[in-house]
Amino acid sequence: MSELRQNIATREWVIIASERARRPNSFTEHRQQLLTAERPQHDPQCPFCVGNEELDLEVDRYPITGPWQVRIVRNKYPALHGDRPLVRHFEGVRRNISGYGYHEVLVEHPHHNTTLGLMTHAEVRLVLATYLSRGLAMSSDPRIEQVVIFKNHGERAGASLPHPHSQLMAVPVVPADVRHRIEEARRFFDDTGQCVFCTMLADELAQRERIVYANDDFVAFVLYAASSPFHIWVLPRKHRASFFHIAEAELDGLADVVREVFHRLYYRLNDPDFNLVLRSTPAKEAENGYFHWYLAIVPRLSYMAGFELGSGIFINPSIPEACAAFLRE
């Protein structure tokens, strides 16, 4: 029987449509296009491939000399610009800020035909370490309020280029969605004296029904109130509000979980399109007891339609516990 479930961290409701739920293996992609690993290792038309580098856009690379492993480049068509003054304008109902900020691309690997689930542990760790170093650099700008790091893989996830890459954007405001999540976390803390994310994590570890993979530092699980099939959160076991305060040693554990989860998604669901989003506190907000940074992994296996747009309630045609069991196998 179908039921409504609530995500206690966001207070958002979802409908788990169990009466019309599909078996987890039915979400395995039957793709007409090539899988990532089946593409050529080098595409002469790809601007991110070795030999095609647009050096005037390059911000940084690692290693600095010799063949590169990762590169940071300014987005060729940026949504925000770091060379403009920050100007605020308020007049009546008209409120605007000049388009100041940063919009960079992290080219994750020299090979055109790989993705996080196919990379080595060291390669994934380097991607995450670059998230950390560039995020810290952007946060040091006093005009920046929020750093947003995300990855789009596949057309349904919004990727315009297939070469493995992530994007980093820094904006001079705290987005409403981020503020909403923080306020809900603060409300839970005021009511209970506990971090809502730590509470969720403790419950998942006790039940173990929705855990996909875990190690000593991180736990990956399908959400109890998943808004879509195989919607996964990766939470650190240690409470920390900001990803940018992560200990260097913890990057190994995070790389292990990220690689393992994406490895399973790649092979169990046949290289699905997905979004990866890093959720962290605003740049100027110190560590606190109520928010807990995490990674959200959202395979694009279902579609948003009129009911979702009209109500804000998603219909999930899968059962989270079955999805987690499918990935654990």
Mean pLDDT over 99-106 rounds to: 96
Residue-wise pLDDT for 256-285, tens only, equals 999 999 999 999 999 999 999 999 999 998
* 49 annotated as a binding-site residue: yes
| Angstrom distance (rounded) from CA 326 to CA 47 | 37
Mean pLDDT over 186-193 rounds to: 97
pLDDT of residue 105: 97
CB 111 within 8 A of CB 165: no
Instruction: Please say if the pLDDT value at position 32 is more than 80.
Output: no
| Angstrom distance (rounded) from CA 60 to CA 53 | 12
CA 248 to mean position of chain CA atoms: 20
- Spatial CA neighbour of 272 closest among 316, 302, 315: 302
Mean pLDDT over 71-90 rounds to: 91
165 is catalytic: yes
* Domains in the chain with CATH codes: 3-328 (3.30.428.10)
| pTM for the predicted model, two decimal places | 0.94
Residue-wise pLDDT for 38-72, tens only, equals 999 999 999 999 999 999 999 999 999 999 999 99
Place of tokens 């109520």: 290
* Contacts with 143 (C-beta within 8 Å, 6 or more apart), sequence order: 86, 100, 172
pLDDT band at 21 (very low <50, low <70, confident <90, very high): low
* H, E, C per residue of the chain: CCEEEEECCCCEEEEECHHHCCCHHHHCCCCCCCCHHHCCCCCCCCCCCCCCCCHHHEEEEECCCCCCCEEEEECCCCCCECCCCCCEEEECCEEEECCECEEEEEECCCCCCCCCCCCCHHHHHHHHHHHHHHHHHHHCCCCCCEEEEEEEECHHHCCCCCCCEEEEEEECCCCHHHHHHHHHHHHHHHHHCCCHHHHHHHHHHHHCCCEEEECCCEEEEECCCCCCCCCEEEEECCCCCCHHHCCCCHHHHHHHHHHHHHHHHHHHCCCCCEEEEEECCCCCCCCCCCCCCEEEEEECCCCCCHHHHHHCCEEECCCHHHHHHHHHC
Residue-wise pLDDT for 146-161, tens only, equals 999 999 999 989 998 9
Place of tokens 């987690």: 324
CB 5 within 8 A of CB 225: yes
| Angstrom distance (rounded) from CA 274 to CA 296 | 10
Catalytic residue among 103, 111, 153, 165: 165
Give me 120's structure tokens.
């080595």
- Spatial CA neighbour of 182 closest among 38, 285, 96, 277: 285
pLDDT of residue 189: 97
* Contacts with 41 (C-beta within 8 Å, 6 or more apart), sequence order: 111, 112, 113
* 112 annotated as a binding-site residue: yes
